[in-house]
Every structure is written in C-alpha cells, then in structure tokens.
Amino acid sequence: MIRRLRSGTPQPSYKAQRAQPVINPIALQPEPDGLQRKALEVSHTRLMLGLGLFTVAFVVIAARLAMVTLMPGEHDTMRVAVAPSADRADILDRNGVVLATSLTTASLYANPHQIRNPDEVAVQLAEVLADLPEASTAAKLAADKSFIWLKRNLTPKQQQAVNRLGIPGLYFQYETKRVYPQGNLTAHVVGFTDVDSRGLAGVERSFDDVLAGGQRPLTLSIDVRIQHILHEEISRAMTDFTAIGGAGMVMDIQTGELLAMVSLPDFDPARAGEATADARFNRATLGTYEMGSTFKLFNTAIGLDTGTTTLAGGYDATHAIKIGRFSIDDYHGKHRWLSIPEIFTYSSNIGSAKLADAFGAEVQRTYLQRLGMLVKSPVELAEVGEPQYPKNNWKRINTMTISYGHGISVAPIQVLPAVAAIANGGIMRAPTLLKRESHEVATGTRIISEQTSAQMRQLMRLVVQVGTGKKANAPGYLVGGKTGTADKQVGKGYSDNARMAAFVAAFPMSAPRYAVVVLVDEPKPNAHSYGYATAGWVAAPVVGALVQRMAPLMGISPIPDDSPVAQNPLVAMVADYDSAASKKAKSKVIQVSAPTKESPAADSDNDDAAPVFKAKPFGATPVSATSNDMTTPPAPEAPLETEGLPLAVE
C-alpha cells in the first residue's frame, strides 16, 4: 500500500517481519555417544581435582606466610632479617655533642642443620672474622640446634666478606649497636649497654626507660671540653706521682649541674666486658674515702655558724692530744697557739679537734646531715656509695677525728655540693647530671648563714694565697680551697705508705661560679716534689691548671691583683705557711679563748666583747684584731687524756 504525503510524493508501505533465530552449527551436531561422554566426564573431573589441589596448596602457603609474618615461632624469626623496631635515644652533652648513639648493624647466625661441613665452614669464617675461634665455631656449627649466634654487630666490611663466602645455612639479622663517639672520656658518666641495648651502668642504666625507644635525645649537664681538661690534668698527676687512681668533678655552684666527672683508670664503653673491675669502678661516686683535712672546711664553718668561735678566736696547738696509746698531732705543726685563720690555713688537726670538741657531737652530726655527708648522694646514677660513720655510738673521740676527716668515709660526689654550699652563700643544691634551664633550677636549702659563707670564702682564699694550697693558685681567677691528705685504712689501722690526696675548691672567690673536687689515690713521692706526696703537691696543682684552662672557655675574665674585689684582709693576719714567721711563738691575731658552755660566744654587736670579724663582701676590710705588738699567748693547755680508737696522724 502506498500512502501519499502532503507534498504529493507517494511512499511505499512496509509490514514488520518477525526475527528469525540464529542457528549454531555446533548445536546441529549429534549428541556424543556413551564412550565420548565418559571421556569428557573424566577430563572434567581431573580438571576440577587439579584446581582443588592448586587451591589447597595456595591456601597452605598463604597461611604459612601469615604465620611467619604475624606469629613468628622460636626459630623462624632468626631466619628472617628484621630491622630493629625502634632506636635507643641519643645521649648528648650540654652543647649537643654526641656521647652515645645507636647504629644499625648485621649480626651473623647459623642453622647447624643446614651446615654440611662444620669444620670447613669454621676455617672459612676464621679467615674473614679473625676473632672467631675455629674450634669453638666448629663445635657450634655441629650442634643439634636450628639456631646459633656466631658474631654480633659485624662491620659492613665483615658482612660483605661473609656474604662472598656463599655458605648455605649462614644468615644475618639486623639489630642496633650502641656506639660511644667520645670513647673513654665519658665512660663512667654515660656507662654502657649489653648487646641487646639494655643499660647496665651509668646514665644508660639510670635512664634506661627514657632512652629505650625514645625519640628525643637525653641532654646531660656535662661539657666535654671541661671533661677533657679535667681528664688530662688528673692523668698527668697520676703519671707524675705513680698513683693507682684518681677522680674529679666540676659543678656549677648556682645550679648544681655537673660539668665534668672523671674517674681513672677508665675503659672503652664499647668494650666494657674487656675492662677490669678497677677500671669500671667509679671513684667519683661509688668509692667512699676518708677525705682528710678537706673536712676542716665543714668543721670551721660549723664553729663559725654556731658562734662557737670567731675569726679572732683560736686554740692552743702546742701539744698533741693524747688518746690512750695514740695521739692527734699536726703534720709539720707550728707548736703554738693558733688563731682560727691559722688553724684553717696551716691545716692544724689539734686546733680542729679542739674546735669540734667545743661545739660537740650533736651539733656536728646535725650540720653534717644538712651538708649531705650522712646520706647517699641523690645524683642520677646507680653507682653511688653509702657513707660510713658511727651511726649508733657517736662518741667524743669520733667528733674530734671527724673534724679533720678521719672516722667517716664519704664519696667525692657528697663532698662537692657541700663545698659549693659553703661558698655560694650557704645554699645547698643537689648535684645533677641533667642540663637545667633557668626555670628548672631548684631553690635549694640554707645550711649556713650568708655571713658564715663570706667568712669561709676568705679562709678558702687564704689557703691558696699563703697556706697549704698555694699550688692551686690560678692568677686572676681568685681560687680558694682546702687541701686534704689522709692515710688509707689497712685492716684496723692506717698505712704509713698509702694515702689519699684531695683538694676541694671554688672560684672566683669574689662571686663563686664553680666548685671543684680532685682526688688522687696512693700518689708516690718523686724528685720534683722533694719527697712529698701530700695534697698540696699532688692535687692542688691539678685544680690550678684546670681553672686556668677552663675559665676562659666559660667566659670568666681574669681579675687584676690590685682590684678591690681581689683583696683578702686575712692575708695580713696569717704568715705564709712555708715562712719562718709562721713558726714563731706568737700569732698575728689577738688570742681569744674559744667560748664554752659557761662562756658563750661573744656577740659582735657588744663593744665589751672580744673583737671578731664581721663578714662583708670578699674585698671589704673586716673589723680586725691585729697588732704588730704581739701579746703573750695563753698558757699551754694540759694534754687531753681519754680512751679512744686508733687515729691517723696527718
């Protein structure tokens, strides 16, 4: 049918046809007969079986891989080289110098079950690892085990050499190794770890939890520059006097920070296991010693602070104090009445003992407790010694011998902050190995008055100017201190040929910033010391050299000798220790008997009282009692007779 459009053009008409199905030629093939059908079924079965086996194998492998990765067994972990999960934090000095850090290293282990010829492998390993013994290595490789360590922490060259051998059954595991760039220099401070990076000594031990897995470095108060100087000077003294050991520390008086801590002999912390017990022993903190006449610093401070005596007071040191079969005597004594400045400057045992006897055992014990002499130091180390003293029966004889540093054993780390407190105005601050910011500094505890501290600074300076510590003088830096030479105990008595030489100091005395303690163990006399091995010859020069080298580094300018702050008024009242004038029968100071319980100390404000020194700034002139016209000394006191313990004669 044709329809005509409006345009008049005719159009054909179509009728939709139904779609015809597409015929698959294969579908036209006839159904397979029984034999062909059976063959197809067998093939299909085999295909499915193979697919199933492949799936099972894949699942087993995947499961095993997951177990090895997520749940390692006892031996499986050793077969996989695993990098350490976390590094141990670095240890730095106060200026950012690295003292300890961790490096990733390879450690060699083996599976003996995979080693075919243990003897041959041992020989090959010994050729590239010289410190690996053939016999013991062969025995390890022949063991009935699946894992044995052969060598921990290989160097990159050693690892490469072992790799080139191409021996089946040898494996590497990556772990961290602790290294100490400063070596022996900071061994006793930093300490060391075991092969698994667990702290065993020093800061590594006391801050193990902080360092393990830590990301922030631990910054110490130590200054490696000062550490190096102190280490070098103590080493020189030990060599000069053939000493068996030495120790020393430097402390910031205002903060308690320890800038240096040296103990000799020392060791390489990377090879701590090879060091002797003596080398690993920290003499600065763990060792306890009778510190000798350095204790006269505390004894004199107690006497002045309690009002038991004044700088114008004194005691008769003509005769030794008899104690049963023994006696307290002076080393190169003056054998006359001595003023308090002379007792301190000339280091008189007799005068110190009589002063201590005047203020008594209870007062002495109370002050020594405040000074930290009767408790372990709170410094952040595990290696800290326990002080030894008469805990339950503090007798009169103990009071007298402790006055000059015998009958009580303390660690140098206890003495140093006490010296700082005596010099800094009377404030006790605990020592610390951690760097402190200004807002972190402890306020401290007052143990003596500012006046007593000012008087003690004058006395300490006097020792270096005209006393037993002249070799500690560092021109321009106003060093003050106290010597101490103590015979070492041997059994129940004291040795005649073994001594401890110590010097405690602070500087500059006009405004103290640093305190120092130096100890030399068993120095021997030599030619240039004229046969002496006392603290004035052995330890004092160490301090003098240290101060001259460290003061410029710390920004301390030298003070001219004619500067007002450099003047010490006590110099005019004490003759030089080595001069003939010091041995004269009269003192330059008007003698005033020490007050007793019936006659209390004179009040400095009482015009009728005995003249005393009023403590003022270091360079100020105190109210003195000097006279060029010597007065007659009091009659010698009768020797004190009492029962007691064996004493050393300094």
**Residues belonging to the active site:** 293
For residue 330, which of 432, 403, 436 has the smallest C-alpha distance? Answer: 403
The token pair at 507 is: 């500087």
CA R_g for the chain: 41
List the end-to-end C-alpha distance of the chain, in Å, as a whole number: 147
Return d(Cα 300, Cα 289) in angstroms, integer: 20
Return d(Cα 562, Cα 565) in angstroms, integer: 8
Return d(Cα 132, Cα 122) in angstroms, integer: 8
**Burial (CB count <10 Å: 0-12, 13-18, 19+), residue 473:** buried
3-state secondary structure 98-147: EEEEEEEEEEEEECHHHCCCHHHHHHHHHHHCCCCCHHHHHHHHCCCCCC
Residue 450, C-beta contacts closer than 8 angstroms, at least 6 positions apart = 425, 426, 615
For residue 367, which of 442, 435, 444, 445 has the smallest C-alpha distance? Answer: 445
**H/E element, 650:** none
3 state SS of 257? strand
Q: Which residues pair with 516 in a beta bridge?
A: 250, 505
Return d(Cα 175, Cα 81) in angstroms, integer: 9
**For residue 265, cis peptide bond before it (omega within 30 degrees of 0):** yes
Under 8 Å between Cβ of 408 and 389: yes
Return d(Cα 287, Cα 294) in angstroms, integer: 16
3 state SS of 518? strand
Residue 418, C-beta contacts closer than 8 angstroms, at least 6 positions apart = 298, 371, 372, 373, 428
3 state SS of 110? strand
Phi/psi at 474 (5° precision): -125, 100
Residue 27, C-beta contacts closer than 8 angstroms, at least 6 positions apart = none
- Helix 450-466 / helix 412-423 crossing angle, nearest 10 deg: 110
